[in-house]
Amino acid sequence: MAYDILLDSSMPTCKQQDELSVGMNSAPADFDAANNLPPSFLDFLMPLHRALTPRQQKLIARRAQAMRAAHAGKLPDHLPPSAVTTHHWKIELPD
């Protein structure tokens, strides 16, 4: 069974952040999913990969944008107040 999965060096690296070339979320160059993973593991992994990778890519892009802005002198700010930070609330613990 063939899978379209990003288990190679095509994922972004930390190089843009601190000039270290450390791969993030990537497998070693000689990794072979068919030989290095237990049978049927990809059947478990692929739905998770398909569901989570788009959000991961968006978060990586947002972080890169925030880093560019910070390097340009625009520092991040606090989130605006919300009901959680301005209203009384409490957690009910079970007996």
E strand map for 1-95? none
pLDDT of 21 reads: 45
Residue 14 has pLDDT above 50, yes or no: no
pLDDT digits (tens, 9 = 90+) for 42-91: 899 899 999 999 999 999 999 999 999 999 999 888 889 998 889 888 88
Q: Which pLDDT band, with edges at 50, 70 and 90, does 24 fall under?
A: low
Cβ atoms of residues 31 and 11 within 8 Å? no
Please name which of 13, 8, 44 lies closest in space to residue 26, comparing C-alpha atoms: 8
Domain segments of the chain: what residues? Answer: 1-74
Average pLDDT over residues 26-32: 86
Under DSSP, is residue 47 helix (H, G, I), strand (E, B) or coil?
helix
pLDDT of 68 reads: 94
